[in-house]
Amino acid sequence: MSRKEFRDLASPEAAREAIDSLSLEGGIDRVELEDARGRVLVARLDAELDVPGFDRASLDGYALRARDTFGADEADPARLEVVGAVHAGEEPTIDLEAGQAVEISTGAVMPSGADAMVPVERTDRVEPRSTDSANGDAVSETAEDGDEVLIRTSVAPGDNVMFAGADVAAGERALGPGTTITPRDIGLLSALGVDEVPVRAKPRVGIVSTGDELVRPGGDLDSERGEIYDVNSYTIAAGVEDAGGEAVLYPHAGDDQDEMERVLREAADECDLVLSSGSTSASAVDVIYRIIEEQGELLLHGVSVKPGKPMLVGRLESSAYVGLPGYPVSAMMVFRTFVAPAIRKAAGLAAPKAATVSGRMARSERYAEGRLRLMPVGLVTSGPSEPAHESAGVDGDGKTLVYPVDKGSGATTSLAEADGVVTVDPETDYLEEGESVTVDLFSPDVQPPTLLGVGEDDPTMNRLLDGLENPRYLSVGSRPAVRRLREGVPDVAVIAGPLERALEAEEIGRWSREWGLVVRPGNPQELEGLAELVDRDLRFVNRTTDSGLRSSLEAAVDDLAADRGRDRQELIAAIDGFDLGLRAHESPARKVIAGDADAGVGLRATADRLNLGFVPLGDQPVRVFANPDRTAKESVQELAAALEEPPTEH
């Protein structure tokens, strides 16, 4: 088997430059004002009119000539004749003369002849019938010839009047090119009567996902054939939209060259940028490589970064092209680091505010491949209670611990358990525990978890977690949880079944759960207990040794061996499938449903939930232990309080 090798890896800087050299920009859109929020103005916008368009009363009161009020005060008010009224939205018909006043409401046009106004609070109408008026109409009716008003203050010309153009003047520069339109800008545009603005078109980004094994979410999956759901398409699409682009999903191309070429050309024709991703198979990568090299222009192949080595950068027809790695975590990391900034720039958006956190490595990390490493990490705060939302983990006070998140190169989901990225330069091959690192958060909105729990997967624990704000729980199993708690990273560990040795940690709560054999609905094979797995010809499915269920099962086998006076290994050898350990607590039950097994180890809760039969073998304790350094942490105390009411399984 021969493969394309990456002999001369480009530097990350060269990759950035190659992508910067591509043109991703779309054209110009004209959008209505109500759709303008967040869009980027392409040209300067000048005011085409004065705001306000007329001299406008700033308050309710009386319009008058300022000189008629000179010398007036509370003791010696000026007395003016009220010759009419003008309300907002009315054209004044009066031409005011000396000694006269016009009742005016806020926002109304100042009548001709008036040069100032006095607020109603500093006046008294001298006709008694005016005092019972409660609304504008009534007031309007009272404003007849013969009324008079006492003005108890003096004003200068222009007082309480907003002159035409005082807010925005016709011809004034209103918004500059490149402005990202905020609600406040929409206020300005509204005032100017603008109902449509020219904005940068969002760069159209076509996403071509390849691979015969991929099925779109929602479709039927055939795991026997090795099918998996397509993770990259929707994830990259969401990333494109986050970066200000418009994502266009193309139908899956298989690994066939003609089909792939047809889809890539269609996407290149319709989009400013085409991203391919999806299949990890060397054949698909080779096919795409060939298409870009032969039919387009290949600028770069292979970058000295991990993850991201197999990145391609080039052009196809008039479109830019970037080939992302197939593994979802790699694809997202490369997208985020190299592609998203280019999309933002093409969209005219400013680089997002750097959102970084300083922290200490929670454990040492070795890596020596000589490539720039983009290391996804999770955060946990080691300090006592802090405001949950605003600063948890986002401080530089040494309370933030940083741990690498890595579920293996095939993992699709690790980024959902990560908060950001530590960039490790190629020369660094070892990060010490306690070493200070800087984490780039995935976005300024990232809220690091308030609680980090690890341990057994358990339905009761899941419900308890639902009651906490923004917890993170890694269901690694009971045995790894013990190890991780000893290493000091998580806040709490959840351990099911027997403990091999005492833990130096505070137990903050426990409950008990019923475990046993999950069997077909109605237990048609009439299993009664563990003995029959040994004695009868039944196919069994176990859990991995990490699991507390496995520990309890092994203890039960020991008991049975002791009862029978036989060696435990003999019994184990007699159980068909004892060594077949599945990681997930529901997986044995699902094997039973699929007909691949007669019985699996599991919980009554699982059997009930999946409508399966259940043969009880015992109760096991589930214990929650707090990290001794974190007992004062707010979220740990909240969990402890929730555990005081003994949780019940249901």
Q: Which residues from 590-619 bind a second copy, rule CB under 8 A?
A: 590, 606
Considering only residues 53 through 72, tell me which ones interact with a second copy, judged by CB under 8 A. Answer: 53-54, 56, 58, 60
Instruction: Find the binder of a second copy among 31, 150, 465, 640 (CB under 8 A).
Output: 465
Candidate list 279, 330, 400, 450; residue touching a second copy; CB under 8 A: 279
- Considering only residues 503 to 562 of the shown chain, the ones binding a second copy according to CB under 8 A are none
- Nearer to a second copy by C-beta: 348 or 497? 348
Q: What is the CA angle 79-82-85, rounded to 5?
A: 145
* Contact call for residue 447 and a second copy (CB under 8 A): yes
Residue list 105-134, contact with a second copy (CB under 8 A): 105-109, 120, 125, 130-134
Give me the amino acid identity at 108. Answer: A
- Other CB atoms within a 10 A radius of the CB of residue 28 amount to 10
Measured from the CB atom, the residue of 50 and 598 that comes closer to a second copy is: 50
Among 6, 11, 23, 52, which residue sits at the site for a second copy (rule: CB under 8 A)?
52
Question: Using the rule CB under 8 A, is 479 a contact of a second copy?
Answer: no
Cα separation of 196 and 582, whole Å?
A: 59
Least distance in angstroms from the C-beta of 298 to a second copy? 17
Output the six-digit token pair for 397. 């006070």
CA angle 616-620-622, nearest 5°?
140
Q: Which of helix, strand or coil describes residue 142?
A: helix
Give the shortest CB-611-to-a second copy separation in angstroms: 14
Q: CB nearer to a second copy: give 175 or 263.
A: 175
Which region, judged by CB under 8 A, interacts with a second copy, from 278-286, 427-435, 524-532, 623-631? 278-286
Strand duo 56-57 + 161-162: pairing: antiparallel
Question: 101 near 151, Cβ under 8 Å?
Answer: yes
Please provide the distance, in angstroms rounded to a whole number, between the alpha carbons at the two ends of the chain. 54
CA distance 589 to 596: 10
**638 contacts a second copy (rule: CB under 8 A):** no
- For 438, 541, 598, 608, the CA distances from 538, given in Å and listed in that order, are 54, 10, 6, 22
Q: Which residues fall within 8 angstroms of residue 467, CB to CB, at 6 or more apart?
A: 642
Task: Pick the closest to residue 549 from 462, 617, 490 (CA basis).
Answer: 617
Tokens encoding 551:
């520990």
- Tell me which of 21, 81, 156, 163 binds a second copy, using CB under 8 A: 163
216 binds a second copy, rule: CB under 8 A: yes
Minimum CB–partner distance for residue 616 and a second copy (Å): 19
Is 219 a binder of a second copy (CB under 8 A)?
yes
User: Counting contacts by CB under 8 A, is residue 583 touching a second copy?
Assistant: yes
Residue 418 contacts a second copy per CB under 8 A? yes
465, two tokens: 């977690």
Min CB(342)–a second copy separation in Å = 16
Options 416, 504, 528, 565; binder of a second copy; rule CB under 8 A: 416
Closest separation in Å from C-beta 282 to a second copy = 5
The residue from 25, 127, 212, 619 that contacts a second copy (CB under 8 A) is: 212
268-276, 425-433, 438-446, 630-638 -> range binding a second copy (CB under 8 A) = 438-446
Q: Which is nearer to a second copy, 534 or 580 (CB)?
A: 580
With binding defined as CB under 8 A, does residue 146 bind a second copy?
A: no
Count the neighbouring beta carbons within 10 Å of the beta carbon of residue 553.
26
Helix (H, G, I), strand (E, B) or coil at 452: strand
Token code pair at residue 187? 């206020």
- Position among 203, 211, 245, 600 found at the interface with a second copy (CB under 8 A): 211
**Residue choice 287, 288, 342, 549 for contact with a second copy (CB under 8 A):** 287
**Residue 547 in tokens:** 């699991």
DSSP code for 68: G
The Cα 503–Cα 491 span in angstroms is 14
How far from the centroid of its chain's Cα atoms is residue 431's Cα?
A: 29
